[in-house]
Amino acid sequence: MKRVLTALVLVPVAVYSVLFAPPVVFLGVTVLFAVSCFREYATITRSFAPLGYVAGLLILALPPSDMGVMVFVSALAAMCLPVFSPHPESAVPRATSLALGISYVFGAWKCGILLHDISAHWLMFALIVNWVGDTGAFYVGRKFGRHKLAPAISPGKSWEGAMASTVASVIFGLIYLPLTIPGTSYLKAALLSVGANIAGQIGDLAESAIKRSAGVKDSGTMLPGHGGMLDRLDSSLFAMPVLYALLRLTR
């Protein structure tokens, strides 16, 4: 019940912010989501959050041409942290986690902004396609799941659920993309849906691996029934960059 109530709040907020809100509201919500995701990531990995916030917000603000330079500078700054730490044996892994997290979270949301610049519907698709896939995976996997997908990382996931997730995402893409993005063929819609879905499923497993290595069940408690913001958006953090890259390649 908590999951349903949370979804009833989150989905309208996402739809309004992406499709109908003024640019300043969209950017404000994007920053809020990005900072919330990174805060949870930094808590799990014990990264030095202040530097991550500064670098991440700069990545969101800078033009795309400068984003790669900013990520590189952020990585260098993070690797300087062990120099000033009294415990370098733990500081090096934490600095590495910080550099990774900046790209992982803020780099993904930058791609979300770039998708929105092309068309708000591309970003909406990147967010919803894996939510639809998750629903298919949940019901099919619970009833028919027999073969574990990644038992060491996420014991509840099955190959049957993963395939159902992909099928549900493709059906959604075949309906949504041709209707909202003029000129999108059914073949292109299907291929983009498969790419975004597979990326999202890998992103879900990647976040599960991060949590398992830290010995935590959820990334946070912000969303009742879902855990933290990172738990809800982990698939989107992989889907947005992959979808943006695929669009750039297929132009």
| Per-residue model confidence as pLDDT tens digits over 125-136 | 999 999 888 888
Of 133, 123, 143, nearest to 203 by C-alpha is 133
Domains: count for the chain: 1
> What's residue 4's pLDDT?
47
pLDDT in tens, the chain (251 residues): 444 455 566 778 888 999 999 999 999 999 999 999 999 999 998 888 888 899 899 899 888 777 777 777 778 777 777 766 676 667 778 888 888 899 999 999 999 999 999 999 999 999 999 988 888 888 887 888 778 888 888 888 888 999 999 999 999 999 999 999 999 999 999 999 999 999 999 999 998 888 888 787 767 666 555 567 888 888 999 999 999 999 988 87
pTM, two decimal places: 0.90
Q: What's residue 2's pLDDT?
A: 44
d(CA 169, CA 192) in angstroms, rounded, equals 10
* pLDDT given for residue 64 in this prediction: 78
Domain that residue 45 falls in? 2-249
CA distance 109 to 236: 9
155: nearest Cα among 211, 113, 87, 106: 211
Enter the DSSP assignment of 176. Answer: H
Q: 174 forms bridges with which residues in the sheet?
A: none
Place of tokens 């770039």: 114
What stretch of H or E contains 55? helix 49-61
What is the three-class DSSP state of 150?
A: strand
CA distances (Å), 183 to each of 159, 179, 209, in order? 33, 9, 39
Is residue 244 within 8 Å of residue 115, measured between CB atoms? yes
